[in-house]
Amino acid sequence: MDNTLDRQIPFGLTIEGGSMRNIARSRWTRVASLAAVGVLALSACSSSDSSSEDTATEETAAEETAEDTATEETEAEEASDAQEECAELTPASLQLQWFVQAQFAGYYAAKDLGFYEAACLDVEILEGGVDIVPQTVLAQGGADFALAWVPKALASREQGAGIVDIAQVFQRSGTLQVAWADSGIESPADFKGKKIGNWGFGNEYEIFAALGEEGIDPASEVELVQQQFDMVALLNREIDAAEAMTYNEYAMLLEAVNPDTGELYQPEDFNVISYSDYGVGMLQDAIWADEARLGDADYADLAQRFVTASFEGWIYCRDNPQECADIVTANGSQLGASHQLWMMNEVNKLVWPSPNGIGVMDPAEWDQTVAISLDSPNLEGATVISEAPADTAYTNQFAEAANAALQAEGVDTTGDGFTPIEVTLNEGGA
């Protein structure tokens, strides 16, 4: 499927820097400096064949001094150029899906560490909430970009929202159904005749898809119960299985004290069903843009700079999970320290590895999400969408350009060697 937008995207990355807040601006400078150093080193090797050891030492020392001086001068010039270039930052806004938490760590890292500023952007991150629909905020002009799950955004798009997925940051679904180990629920086939919790608000699509795959009528053969955004109903055994995200609600169970033992619950106390394991996982957090505005060169350039700097944030969080968890906490998250780090680690698992590069859409995953959205009826018999979205519903153009620019700077954008960290949860997530 060709999802390239029929327009030329202006591409002028300004992601350069020096110091922690100027890391991005220094990259281009350092790459150029290293190239120059390489030339000098090759020259030195060539001449040293006929030199004495003392002479070679003196030449090496002189070259190192020259290299240091050249690097300092180049960085000073770059800093001066950057000040002129970014004398006025371009404002941009991002609407989140939920409250401040590590689910959005890459964006907070990009802001706090200066990646957005290095791209000449002044980004405002708008907190979400129960009554905020990010894709609607975007479509109505309330934000420049928005984060949304793909099926929810496709439903809004079919209803008239002119939005397009420009970066599929989460590469896989993090949705679970969790039951007690003694419940007899080990797969979606066991949902029949049970009380199955879900949050609603479009978070239940994978449940309906799983029921459909098992031939279970959601209207008559299972009791769907709307649960709160916690695990209290499951802990009290008011429902048989609860909806959970790998990075949030599942951790709530493992942070709770088992009254029978006085210790925290353990993974073996629960049966965990991942919808991805049953072929009904749907694409989740993506960056969405205003499709009509992408025809404007300035907005298209804004989108490119925003995507690239956001990717830098996510890459930093991949390699520095504890620091990013702390960044999110410093930005107002009310979650405890161990819960925040757990979330950061689990979110990293949804982003990394990104085989085609961070944010690049896998057409097979897109097609699966679309197929489920078309073929999985809810209690009323309605599906998420009634017809397949246009090919322009997503584009890889921005993500691929961002990956190419970052890779040219020596940045790992695939995370092929990504290894999750071990996280120990404390009571209440403290």
- What is the structure's pLDDT at 74? 53
Instruction: Select the highest-mean-pLDDT range: 24-28, 68-72, 219-223.
Output: 219-223
- Please state, in angstroms and rounded to a whole number, the distance separating the CA atoms of residues 29 and 16: 7
Q: Does 47 or 392 have the greater pLDDT score? A: 392
Structure tokens at 44: 């030195």
pLDDT of 263 above 80:
yes
pLDDT tens digit string along 251-261?
999 999 999 99
- What is the structure's pLDDT at 201? 83
pLDDT band at 29 (very low <50, low <70, confident <90, very high): very low
Residues 260, 266, 268, 271, CA torsion sign = positive
Calculate mean pLDDT across residues 69-84: 50
pLDDT tens digit string along 340-388?
999 999 999 999 999 999 999 999 999 999 999 999 999 999 999 999 9
Q: Which positions ≥6 away from 191 have C-beta within 8 Å?
A: 177, 185, 210, 211, 214, 216, 222, 241
Nearest by Cα to 339 from 426, 273, 265, 270: 426
pTM: 0.83
Backbone angles phi, psi at 336, to 5 degrees: -70, 165
Q: Is 290 helix (H, G, I), strand (E, B) or coil?
A: strand
pLDDT tens digit string along 180-201?
999 999 999 999 999 999 998 8
